[in-house]
Structure 1
């Protein structure tokens, strides 16, 4: 089911724009000035974090049954539409104090922890509960994270100056809103 892959990729790529983990990517790039270990660390951390989130989403889908699940997912998507409009900021503690792990290790640890309870992790749980192919969801959300964060590593502040985060967040919110409404009204072939 490629739909799960493409929807997951798009939602997370848009939702990640201006997110604290994207800001973390910029900080790590500015601190270490070694982009490839940072990119590798982002990939490993995201894959591990989103695989865990996907497993939770799959379990939730199994446990709740289709009717309750439809309402939980629909309301979750509507909540994500609101949440994505709230800008993130990077806490100073998130990017400091871990130099002893090296560039790759610091990136893995920092990204994994920064993603815990983050919008994109919650979105991964909801998407994995909505779509039956959890692997496609995890691969899609991981690709979405990479699409948003790799340019941040290489281009840093230049991206933020040229892209309207308000517009990007609005588009992501609209997508979550549409998915929420479609889910609540049981439109589509997912349930």
Structure 2
């Protein structure tokens, strides 16, 4: 394994995502759902995204216009912002009363998959994979960095509920989702 490629990829991706919408989304989801289910959804989404970036990243952007990806992503953030504002049935320990066991995993997976499709870290991963013969090393470095940033967000979110009422966190998360959704839709609109 080429450790220089691994650490370069890990460092670039970790720093690029630190404090980004992915980490904030992980934090918000962790206040609403059990952290293990949130992480499972997020981890799976990043593995799929990075596999796509390494194997077919360039082809993806020629088949599916980025504007459509941004429109779907923005719409999904707005939807989750509105549903979070309306309630959603979470009780005090974050377990959704009306949620199925798949709910948090699928929700986390879809939010990250659509939000990060075509994002800077996926483009960086695609670029690094194109520059190096070590596609697996690029995949491993990028995926591990994204998982670590997400875990930081999840655990920060879990600690936050010890000091801030859950209803305040839900309203804040809803507002973040709405802001992210509006920003992504604006980017899609401005990019045309």
Asked whether the two chains share a fold, i.e. TM above 0.5, the reply is yes
- Counterpart of 1:82 in structure 2 is none
> Quick check: 2:31–2:158 contact (8 Å CA) kept in 1?
no
1:52-63 superposed matches below 5 A: 52-56=52-56
* Closer, same or farther: CA 93–119 of 1 in aligned 2, 3 Å: farther
- Counterpart of 2:29 in structure 1 is 28
> Quick check: 2:23–2:152 contact (8 Å CA) kept in 1?
no
CA–CA distance in structure 1, aligned partners of residues 12 and 43 of structure 2 = 17
- Counterpart of 1:133 in structure 2 is 134
CA–CA distance in structure 1, aligned partners of residues 40 and 82 of structure 2 = 19
Deviation at 1:96, TM superposition (A): 5.9
CA–CA distance in structure 2, aligned partners of residues 152 and 140 of structure 1 = 19
Give the secondary structure class of the aligned counterpart of 1:7: helix
* Closer, same or farther: CA 157–94 of 1 in aligned 2, 3 Å: same
CA–CA distance in structure 1, aligned partners of residues 117 and 57 of structure 2 = 14
Give the secondary structure class of the aligned counterpart of 2:19: coil
TM-score, L = length of structure 1: 0.59
CA–CA distance in structure 1, aligned partners of residues 145 and 14 of structure 2 = 4
- Counterpart of 1:64 in structure 2 is none
* Closer, same or farther: CA 92–31 of 1 in aligned 2, 3 Å: farther
For structure 1, the 5+ residue unaligned runs are: 60-89, 160-191
For structure 2, the 5+ residue unaligned runs are: 60-75, 89-98, 161-192
1:41 aligns with 2:41: yes
CA–CA distance in structure 1, aligned partners of residues 122 and 81 of structure 2 = 19
